[in-house]
Chains A and B, each alone.
Chain A
Amino acid sequence: MPNESGRAYGLTALCPIKLSDAKHSYASLTRAYLQQLQESSSDDKSPMARVPNTYLCRFFVLNNVNYQGKPAVLDSLKSPYLVFIGELFGDRDTYLRGMWDHAEAFIRQAWQHCVGFDGVDSRDYFASYIERCQVETTLYFNGSTDDPLAEQLKALYMKQEFSKFAFASSGKSPHELQRDFKEFVERTRPSDLTGPTWRPGAATLANVVVDDGNEKR
């Protein structure tokens, strides 16, 4: 089944970028925007970290296809493309609508030089725009489980915290251990997906925990 792996969805969209005119290379402007984003925002400040159920995503500008050398035939794209690759939980349209709700400003910036994007001004329109630009993700391999993101983040958090607990508890008496574990469960709230949990987008252990919206270091 293309695009899907269980409840995980592999979205690939190639959005044509306008050809250069007298004044600008729109492909270069798009690339420059994406690259400064990478520079200016640490992982968890990525605008896509706010989008619900994003496992992983990637943006790049595709100028052309590669030439494989003789005897291959030279192919050329009719325009450069903004490529958006998203690995996400759930169905595509729910995700894209959520993306618009949580990252509209980013979307408007990143897609502003794409062909046909001028009129895109709502969550539904954005979802249908991306659908038109979608290409099938064949042989989709999902690198994690297909659980909702919140569950995965909580699991990551629990794994991290429990390993700390295990090291800290080494050599303790059963009584102490039971007391501390109770305290551990109360603090970490294993069945509460809202927090404390792993921060979406965080790729390092620094500043990673979200506790009901209050940050802990």
Chain B
Amino acid sequence: MMRPDPDVALDLHDIQGNIIKAYNREEYVTARYVLYEVKDGAAGRAFLGKLLPYVTTAAPWSRESETRDANPKPDVTLNIGFTFEGLEAMELPSASLLTFPEEFVSGMLARREILGDDGKSAPEHWDPVWRKAIHMLVFLNGPGRPHEAVLAEHYDKLAALAAEFEPSVVCLDGHRGADGTSLAYQGASALYDKNGGITSKEHFGYSDGISNPFFKGTGANPNNVVGGGKVTRESSDTVEGWEPLETGEFLLGYKDEAYEYPEAPKPPLLGRNGTYMVFRKLHENVGSFEDYLEEAGREFDGGKEALAAKFVGRWRNGAPLATFPTAEAADGVAKRWNDAYIRLEKAKAGSDEAELRAASEQYAAVRRELVAFDYDKDLAGGRCPVGAHVRRVNPRGSLEFGRTGAFATRGALTNRRRILRRGLPYGATPEPKSDGGEHGNIVMMMGASIRRQFEFVQQQWINYGNDFKLGNDKDPLLGNHSDGPDSIDGRMTIESEPGSHKAPFLCSGIPRFVETRGGGYFFIPSMTALRMISDAIVDPT
């Protein structure tokens, strides 16, 4: 028997904050994404040097009551990424540049065929800025209503700082804003409910970002491994049913799920504690989506909402179909979740430590109901269709197809495809619902290998169905279905419960609900690497 691995404690001060923290869960629910072209390396490095003191790290924030040795929350977070061209522009030595992986060197635009960015998702439809020479991404996250002005103030400071380096560093414009305007930044914000409360919804109405990978070394509550780690052979509603993923799946310089270090640039200090990030601006065709649900929902048992749940594998309120197959059960857990959230918010504002603990425990318990599941009791897809969005992008243990022991571990085909997801919606949901306008999701996906994780999931699991024994079927929500009346690929089979003697429900003519409007591949260096790039002391020899 092998000795268990020693605990890895990550040096969170050396890691950019967005990799470990989901900012929108920390009340930073607005964002601006700013792109730069670096025309002169020395100026680019000096600009980076000026930004360094403001970069937000992953170190835990202290609570307001703690003052000594505190690491207070900033008003606004700031993080930095570089494209490959950006690293070239910053004049990294060529011996280092040559060690970056091919897909990162090529960039998203060149990889569009693999990603299925065709038709309305083709680059000619992207925001003009994403077709320019993008070198550097700086993104700010700030508070929501009623303090949105804080983000704008910090953005102005960033703009003033960058202006000192014009024209050697150019802030790129060409982000499409509302009403056809062209902006120098991409804005984003959480959506609000009728009462002005912050929600985790995206424009289709689904609660988003519920489940994220849980990996070693972050210092997070170990109980959160449930639903976020990798599946073991124990029951998925227990802590024993899960293990943390290896750090090297998400950060360079650590052991990964293949028992080795992920491919990383040289020298090791350039890669260590860094990662890759895929940025996607995804437009949501809210009108087509509602129309389709309306029409197909008339025929579907359970109606429109049930069909919406079958598409995604979660009800729009976030409850997973695998555990909550009926609308009543889903509403029940959603209400418990909402109540637990309100209690927790109240407890956070108060000073009763015991109440805060109890509220946190209650919240964690409900959250667990939303994530602690697999598809073992639902192999046929009677509850959650095999082709549903969440089952595709994170199949958990289901790729063993019930043949226990088919692989050395239950998650063998899944554990190397996990992705950290961050992001926020942009634009306002159009009323009445329509496709036109500027609204969608800014999605940022991080991992140690863009090719093995994001590109594989996009190509094989979203735009293809063979791994799920679904032939050419695509992800109903995100798939790049060909549009038009003659289209044959916008299909989905919604399986019925075995033994129910009901025929499966066949959806066809699904249009493309989500269109790519821009994006890029970025390297998110560690704090050490940012400093070394800025000081021009990256030395691969």
Note all chain B residues with C-beta closer than 8 A to A27: 11, 14
Tell yes or no: A20 within 8 A of B by CB.
Answer: yes
Note all chain B residues with C-beta closer than 8 A to A74: 5-6, 255
Do residues B2 and A22 form an inter-chain contact, with CB atoms below 8 A? no
A interface residues, how many (CB within 8 angstroms): 25
Complex formed: what's the CA distance from A107 to B9 in Å? 28
Complex formed: what's the CA distance from A63 to B253 in Å? 11
* B247 vs chain A, min Cβ distance (A): 11
Do residues A25 and B70 form an inter-chain contact, with CB atoms below 8 A? no
Complex formed: what's the CA distance from A36 to B532 in Å? 10
- CB-CB nearest in chain A for B273: A63
- CB-CB nearest in chain B for A67: B255
Note all chain A residues with C-beta closer than 8 A to B3: 73
Note all chain A residues with C-beta closer than 8 A to B9: 19
Do residues B537 and A25 form an inter-chain contact, with CB atoms below 8 A? no
Tell yes or no: B486 within 8 A of A by CB.
Answer: no
Tell yes or no: B26 within 8 A of A by CB.
Answer: no
Q: B13 contacts which of A20, A35, A38, A69 (Cβ < 8 Å)?
A: A20
Given known A-B contacts A63-B11, A73-B3, A76-B8, A22 and B71 have beta carbons under 8 A apart:
yes
Do residues B537 and A39 form an inter-chain contact, with CB atoms below 8 A? yes
* A166 vs chain B, min Cβ distance (A): 34
Note all chain A residues with C-beta closer than 8 A to B535: 35-36, 39
* B517 vs chain A, min Cβ distance (A): 38
How many chain B residues sit at the interface, stated as a range, is 20 to 34
Tell yes or no: B465 within 8 A of A by CB.
Answer: no
Note all chain A residues with C-beta closer than 8 A to B5: 73-74, 76
Note all chain A residues with C-beta closer than 8 A to B59: 20, 22-23, 25
Do residues A35 and B6 form an inter-chain contact, with CB atoms below 8 A? no
Note all chain A residues with C-beta closer than 8 A to B255: 67, 74
* A85 vs chain B, min Cβ distance (A): 18
Note all chain A residues with C-beta closer than 8 A to B336: none
Tell yes or no: B478 within 8 A of A by CB.
Answer: no
Note all chain B residues with C-beta closer than 8 A to A69: 259-261
Q: A22 contacts which of B62, B260, B527, B537 (Cβ < 8 Å)?
A: B62
Do residues B11 and A22 form an inter-chain contact, with CB atoms below 8 A? no
Given known A-B contacts A23-B71, A25-B14, A67 and B531 have beta carbons under 8 A apart:
no
Note all chain B residues with C-beta closer than 8 A to A80: 11
Tell yes or no: B482 within 8 A of A by CB.
Answer: no
Tell yes or no: A217 within 8 A of B by CB.
Answer: no
Given known A-B contacts A32-B531, A67-B255, A73-B3, A38 and B11 have beta carbons under 8 A apart:
no
Complex formed: what's the CA distance from A70 to B408 in Å? 15
Given known A-B contacts A27-B11, A28-B528, A69-B260, A76 and B6 have beta carbons under 8 A apart:
yes
Q: B532 contacts which of A22, A23, A35, A70 (Cβ < 8 Å)?
A: A35
For chain B residues 263-319, which have a beta carbon within 8 Å of chain A?
272
Chain B interface mostly helix, strand, loop or mixed? loop
Tell yes or no: B12 within 8 A of A by CB.
Answer: yes
* B42 vs chain A, min Cβ distance (A): 15
Complex formed: what's the CA distance from A57 to B67 in Å? 41
Complex formed: what's the CA distance from A20 to B219 in Å? 13
Tell yes or no: B60 within 8 A of A by CB.
Answer: yes
Tell yes or no: A58 within 8 A of B by CB.
Answer: no
Tell yes or no: B69 within 8 A of A by CB.
Answer: yes
Do residues A20 and B11 form an inter-chain contact, with CB atoms below 8 A? yes
Given known A-B contacts A69-B260, A73-B2, A24 and B11 have beta carbons under 8 A apart:
no
Tell yes or no: A186 within 8 A of B by CB.
Answer: no
* A81 vs chain B, min Cβ distance (A): 13
Note all chain A residues with C-beta closer than 8 A to B14: 25, 27-28
- CB-CB nearest in chain A for B6: A76
Complex formed: what's the CA distance from A97 to B3 in Å? 43
Note all chain B residues with C-beta closer than 8 A to A67: 255, 260-261
Tell yes or no: A31 within 8 A of B by CB.
Answer: yes
- CB-CB nearest in chain B for A80: B11
* B539 vs chain A, min Cβ distance (A): 9
Do residues B537 and A35 form an inter-chain contact, with CB atoms below 8 A? yes
A60-82 interface code vs B (CB 8 A; 1 in, 0 out)? 00010001011101111000100
Do residues A28 and B6 form an inter-chain contact, with CB atoms below 8 A? no
For chain A residues 8-52, which have a beta carbon within 8 Å of chain B?
19-25, 27-28, 31-32, 35-36, 38-39
* A141 vs chain B, min Cβ distance (A): 22
Complex formed: what's the CA distance from A198 to B255 in Å? 47
* B273 vs chain A, min Cβ distance (A): 9
Q: A25 contacts which of B6, B13, B62, B66 (Cβ < 8 Å)?
A: B13
Do residues B13 and A24 form an inter-chain contact, with CB atoms below 8 A? yes
Note all chain A residues with C-beta closer than 8 A to B272: 63
* B336 vs chain A, min Cβ distance (A): 34
- Report 25 cross-chain contacts, Cβ distance below 8 Å, ordered by A residue: A20-B13, A21-B69, A22-B66, A22-B69, A23-B69, A24-B13, A25-B13, A25-B59, A25-B527, A28-B528, A32-B528, A32-B531, A35-B532, A35-B535, A35-B537, A39-B537, A67-B255, A67-B260, A69-B260, A70-B259, A73-B2, A74-B5, A75-B6, A76-B5, A76-B8
Measured CB to CB, the residues of A under 8 A from B are 19-25, 27-28, 31-32, 35-36, 38-39, 63, 67, 69-71, 73-76, 80
Measured CB to CB, the residues of B under 8 A from A are 2-3, 5-9, 11-14, 59-60, 62, 66, 69-71, 255, 259-261, 272, 527-528, 531-532, 535, 537
List 17 additional A-B contacts (Cβ < 8 Å) besides A22-B71, A23-B70, A25-B13.
A19-B9, A21-B69, A22-B70, A23-B69, A23-B71, A24-B13, A28-B13, A28-B527, A32-B531, A39-B537, A67-B255, A67-B261, A73-B3, A76-B5, A76-B6, A76-B7, A76-B8
